[in-house]
Amino acid sequence: MSLDTRPPRQHPVRQVATPRERQAERGMPSRSLLLALVLACIALMVVDRTSGDESPVAPVRRVVGEVLGPAQAGVSAVLGPVVALPGNLRTNDALREENADLQARVDALEQEARKAGYDDNRMQEWAGLGQMSTGTGYALAPARVISYGAAQSFSNTVTIDAGSDSGLRPDMTVLNGDGLVGRILEVTSHTATVLLVVDASSTVGGRVGDNMENGMVEGQGGFAADEPLELRLLDDTVLPEKGQTVVTWGSEGGAPYVSGVPIGEVDKVFEDLRLGTYRAVLEPFVDFTSLDLVGVVVPSGGDGVIEPGAFQ
């Protein structure tokens, strides 16, 4: 027999928790839980990423959306006005400033809108001139009508803002996007005087486009005359018909008139009983009271000249 001579235990057995127990006690997630969650995330990503449109996540998304969608709409409707409140609280100064800004913008836009029609028309004129150049095959020097001769002088002339500096000479053909305007009488260095075809002293060789019959187109004088142009065919037996187009016949060397420029169309036909000839009244294509942009037929290759095929 031997006595237990060991000293009595003064302390209870030391209770050592395993690391896992300690972690669980402290509320730590176990390693396996963490691993499972991370793997779950990665698996979800891979599945969603690789399966494209037929992702199994899509129906889940749909269900969550069905539940949360109305909630979102409700919250948005309820809190929207509250969020928008700061936008409504603004000082008088800020409002005045904004008002001034907007007023300035309105003014600018109105001005632009007023000019829009004018700009459109100018654009159309340029396009017409380009088209005319292409159609007739002549190079055109653009110019603007800057003044009309007074009616008291009984001549129908206009001044254009291009002259000898732009290569213009007397007896050049002037036309615009619609047709023949006239010819140049005189030039200065920066201006030129144009005799309109409606002038009483103007005679243009004209040709009916349909049957190539030649004739003379004579001006009757006056912009506002009812019958500004008259056509007398050289062949008395040919009867001009209403709606036929008359173009220039063309002079030798292209002066004063080049050939093939439309003048107008036959509007009325009269028979001169005494002479036994026909007289046709032409309706000119050009509106002579609102001439603005015109082109002068010049040799090709000059500075600022509209060549055939431009604007296309």
Partner 1 sequence: MSGTQRLVAALVTVVAALLLQVTVFPHLAWNGVVPDLVLLAVVGAALVTDPRFATLLGFGAGLLLDLAPPADHTAGRWALALMVVGYVVGRLAHDHSSAQAGSARPAYPLMLAAGAGGAFVGTSVFALSGLLLRDPAVDVGELLEVVLAAVAYDVLAALVVLPAAVWVFTREPGARPAQVTPRTPRRTPV
| Residue 301 Ramachandran class (φ > 0 left, ψ -120 to 50 alpha, else beta) | left
**Binding window for partner 1 (CB under 8 A); candidates: 42-50, 191-199, 229-237, 272-280:** 42-50
Distance CA 34, CA 36 (A): 5
**Applying CB under 8 A, does 34 fall inside the site for partner 1?**
yes
**Applying CB under 8 A, does 45 fall inside the site for partner 1?**
yes
Tell me whether the omega of the peptide bond preceding residue 256 falls within 30 degrees of 0, making it cis: yes
**Applying CB under 8 A, does 68 fall inside the site for partner 1?**
yes
Q: Shortest distance, CB of residue 6 to partner 1, whole angstroms?
A: 15
Q: Would you say 67 or 224 has its CB closer to partner 1?
A: 67
Q: Map residues 70-109 to x or -, x wherever contact with partner 1 holds by CB under 8 A.
A: -xx--xx--xx--xx-------------------------
Q: Shortest distance, CB of residue 40 to partner 1, whole angstroms?
A: 7
Q: Shortest distance, CB of residue 142 to partner 1, whole angstroms?
A: 51
**Applying CB under 8 A, does 65 fall inside the site for partner 1?**
yes
Q: Map residues 8-27 to x or -, x wherever contact with partner 1 holds by CB under 8 A.
A: ---x--xx-x----x--xxx
**Binding window for partner 1 (CB under 8 A); candidates: 34-42, 102-110, 137-145, 257-265:** 34-42
Select from 19, 69, 137, 299 the one that contacts partner 1 (CB under 8 A).
69
Q: Shortest distance, CB of residue 7 to partner 1, whole angstroms?
A: 13
Select from 19, 31, 35, 40 the one that contacts partner 1 (CB under 8 A).
40
Of 205, 214, 158, nearest to 181 (Cα)?
158
Q: Would you say 80 or 137 has its CB closer to partner 1?
A: 80
Distance CA 183, CA 171 (A): 6
Q: Shortest distance, CB of residue 126 to partner 1, whole angstroms?
A: 46
Select from 35, 41, 100, 102 the one that contacts partner 1 (CB under 8 A).
41
| 3-class secondary structure per residue, the chain | CCCCCCCCCCCCCCCCCCHHHHHHHCCCCCHHHHHHHHHHHHHHHHHHHHCHHHCCHHHHHHHHHHHHHHHHHHHHHHHHHHHHHHHHCCCHHHHHHHHHHHHHHHHHHHHHHHHHHHHHHHHHHHHHHHHHHHHHCCEEEEEEEEEECCHHHCCCEEEECCCHHHCCCCCCEEECCCCEEEEEEEECCCCEEEEECCCCCCEEEEEECCCCCEEEEEECCCCCCCCCEEEEECCCCCCCCCCCEEEECCCHHHCCCCCCCEEEEEEEEEEECCCCEEEEEEEECCCHHHCCEEEEEECCCCCCCECCCCCC
**Applying CB under 8 A, does 60 fall inside the site for partner 1?**
yes
Crossing angle (nearest 10°) for helices 57-88 and 31-50: 90
Select from 19, 31, 35, 64 the one that contacts partner 1 (CB under 8 A).
64
Q: Would you say 73 or 109 has its CB closer to partner 1?
A: 73
Q: Shortest distance, CB of residue 61 to partner 1, whole angstroms?
A: 5
**Applying CB under 8 A, does 33 fall inside the site for partner 1?**
yes
Q: Would you say 47 or 275 has its CB closer to partner 1?
A: 47
Q: Which residues bind partner 1 (CB under 8 A)?
A: 11, 14-15, 17, 22, 25-30, 33-34, 37-38, 40-45, 48-49, 55, 57, 60-61, 64-65, 68-69, 71-72, 75-76, 79-80, 83-84
